[in-house]
A and B are shown apart, each in its own frame.
Chain A
């Protein structure tokens, strides 16, 4: 849907010459630069955590993702970058089947998590989402206490039988999310009373409380100030020791700081994927270069 709207959006205001020019330039770039038949760079790794091949996503009749293939390695942070509406969030949401909740959305392709087909009709989506957790763009704590927020996942999955076990899970998760010291004295205060950055860390704690294998993050810092962002980025680096992380971001600096490998999406296609350093210093494809140098986006 996002993609369709972005594509159909007419250029605004005829008097805005500078903007027009930029749009024309971008269109020229898009038309002149052919898409690669295959993704350039090295999208595949040995022994991946997630193996994704020929992923296509349709919103009704609009194709939002065109044949994207890539691997996400174990304990790796992969960042997905690209201009608005390029389909990176849509792609991310395929990885724990959050797109199932949208009626008109269809997903095709082979998506595997350690040999398990994600779209196997026999696979229970509840089980999948316990293995692949997600952190959203806007902090969305439940309007419950901090403790209940973190304890919710373990409770519904029956991960802790005793109050003592649950307390331990909550404390560990909050510690890992770097929030424990700030909230340990008010665990039963409402989660919505925290600051934006704290809320987002609470959401991360909530996600890792069910010990997922993969954590998906959809622009987790876009609603936060630079200090809160720095904390989350630090946290992502620490978390990568125990979890595999895929993060969608609009900030190229952020992608450069936190991720091991970077994938550049453009209009629903995966243009280039490589080591983060390579992508930002020696991009192979012209579109990638144009984007990271800020010529459009």
Chain B
């Protein structure tokens, strides 16, 4: 009996110290990550318009030719669709990705700070062929670019 309890005790100590190390690493990291700023309302919207309204307060965003979207026109695998956004717009504050036909259209909202350029790259999931919107906030104003990405179901490259 004593051995069992000692084992449990040791296990607990090891797990505890691992946690302590993790907490220590967390302390070195920026505090804002720990703050709960995740916009749950915008992410749970089921339409692109709803998500944009929840995030920016408007879904009436003018198109801009200064946003360059590099993404495949046809994606063979909807689970991994690479997208690269670059823009020449000044003072870019954020870049957001919205896939209209996803069950939850808002994919990512990236705030760029302290010298980060108008550039963002990520890999998205897409349930089906859809319009992809890229919303860039620059100097407080919103700009949008769209691209249609075709998703081949089954990923056979047809």
| A-B complex is real | no
Q: What residues make up the interface of B, taking CB atoms closer than 8 Å to A?
A: none
